[in-house]
Amino acid sequence: MSQMGHGRAGFTTYHERYGCELMVEWHRAPKGPAPTPRLLSRSAGFTLVEVVLGGATLLVAAGAILGAYIGQMTLNEHARNLALAIQDANRVIEHARAANTGATCITPNLIPPVGATIDAWLENTTSPLGGGGKSIPPDPGRNAEERVVVTCQDQKTGAYCNKTSQGGDWPVSPNSNPSYDPIRVTVGVCWRHRNRTIGECIWNAGNFSLGPDTNNNGVIDGPAVLTTLITCRQ
């Protein structure tokens, strides 16, 4: 049998069969009202200066992200327009090669099948002989426009072709020999991008003026330029 006895004050000693002693402390509930939560001091919050500095930092970071996004969007638009301009230059060269093929070709020329210039031919979408339209369409809201400029020269001397061979594009030498063979054809494309003119053209009241030849190489060129030699092919 286990025995219970009184030990030190506040404790009851329980003796078990094997001589072990268990000490149990009796706790009394504290007297008085229950404790109330302690409020945090004012020093644990943000001051006005910290809030202003944090807001300013957030604005700077947001402005940097927005600027990077706009810059990337502008680069993407420029790359897209450059690809479309090169595509149109290639269309003009392929047309010139096809037009100077066959038994009827005596000397190479760039006379468009419809329109006064190659640019007008390319822009024509109504005639079955037209070029089908330019790849950079006019956009009045952004002043987007495209101008294709073809320069025809003698491959040997660099002399410009006359109107008979040139088709009305810049430049024109009315007294030159129309029978150059082969001819060197340079197709340059100017276009408008976000109120900027790309290429050696001048934007004048909604229209392109050709020139000046800023690099003095004798042709109207820019980022999108293709050059080839054309002769009659049977």
Which tops the pLDDT comparison, 75 or 225?
225
Q: What is the arithmetic mean of pLDDT over 194-203?
A: 86
Q: Which residue from 179, 166, 187 is spatially nearest to 94, judged by alpha carbons?
A: 187
In percent, how much of the chain has pLDDT > 90? Answer: 15
Q: What is the arithmetic mean of pLDDT over 85-108?
A: 90
What is the pTM for the complete model shown? 0.68
pLDDT at 74: 78
Does residue 90 register a pLDDT over 90? Answer: yes
Does residue 169 register a pLDDT over 50? Answer: yes
Least confident of 63-72, 137-146, 223-232: 137-146
Any idea which residue has 């010139």 for tokens?
Answer: 96
pLDDT at 177: 58
Does residue 142 register a pLDDT over 80? Answer: no
Integer Cα distance of 147 and 105 in angstroms: 28
Confidence grade of residue 162 (pLDDT, cut at 50, 70, 90)? confident
pLDDT in tens, 19-53: 555 444 545 556 656 655 555 555 567 788 888 88
Contact (Cβ atoms closer than 8 angstroms) between residue 233 and residue 105:
yes
- Highest mean pLDDT of the ranges 91-95, 108-112, 113-117, 134-138: 91-95
Does residue 133 register a pLDDT over 80? Answer: yes
Three-state SS annotation for the chain? CCEEEECCCCEEEEECCCCCEEEEECCCCCCCCCCCCCCCCHHHCCCHHHHHHHHHHHHHHHHHHHHHHHHHHHHHHHHHHHHHHHHHHHHHHHHHHHHCECCCCCCCCCCCCCCCCHHHHHHCCCCCCCCCCCCCCCECCCCECEEEEEEEEECCCCCECCHHHHCCCCCCCCCCCCCCCCEEEEEEEEEEECCEEECCEEEECCEEEECCCCCCCCCCCCCEEEEEEECCEC
Integer Cα distance of 137 and 59 in angstroms: 38
